[in-house]
Structure 1
Amino acid sequence: MTAITIRDVSESTLEALKIKAAKGGRSLQTYLLDLVTRDARTPSLADMMTRLDRETRSDVSTSDILAAIDEGRQRR
């Protein structure tokens, strides 16, 4: 595996990360590896929008929806 070095991390940031890792019962390295891995697996907003666009297509028009609403109201 490859090692990653992050430079110029402030002491306050490092301390906050150490605390979060400790609260989770993990080492700093394990905590950061989990964080980076989770981020790498999370799709970007653009990818999510593309997927939503692809999977949520509908042939129902606005007028069809409004007609169905009106029909439902008339049945009351």
Structure 2
Amino acid sequence: MSNLQVRDVPEDVHRVLKARAAASGRSLSEYVLEIIQREAERPTLDELLDRVRVRGSVDLGDAAQKILRAERDAA
């Protein structure tokens, strides 16, 4: 495992994180590690857009408006 040190954390942010960690029964390190892990598991917007580009376009067929108009005209 690697170590990570965060410097210059504003006092109010530190106070909130420490209180939330205590309320959840965890140390500040455990609490912040969970936040970091959760963030690392979620793709960024750029990563999501790259995935979409790789998959290519999809033909969704006729627009709903066109289908409804055809149904109404047939009735």
Q: If the length of structure 1 is used for normalisation, what is the TM-score?
A: 0.74
Task: Quote the Cα distance in structure 1 between the aligned partners of 2:21 and 2:38.
Answer: 15
The amino acid across from 2:33 in the alignment is: L
Report the Cα offset of residue 45 of structure 1.
0.5
5+ residue gaps, structure 2, are: none
Aligned residues: 73
Give the secondary structure class of the aligned counterpart of 1:58.
Answer: coil
* 2:42 match: 42
Task: Quote the Cα distance in structure 2 between the aligned partners of 1:60 and 1:6.
Answer: 47
* 1:68 equivalenced with 2:44 (yes/no): no
Structure-to-structure mapping, 1:2-13, within 5 angstroms:
2-13=2-13
CA distance 1:69–1:49, change in 2 (3 Å): farther
RMSD value, Cα: 2.2
Higher relative contact order (CA 8 A, sep 6+): 2
Structure-to-structure mapping, 1:47-58, within 5 angstroms:
47-53=47-53, 54=55, 57-58=57-58
Percent identity over paired residues? 33
Q: If the length of structure 2 is used for normalisation, what is the TM-score?
A: 0.74
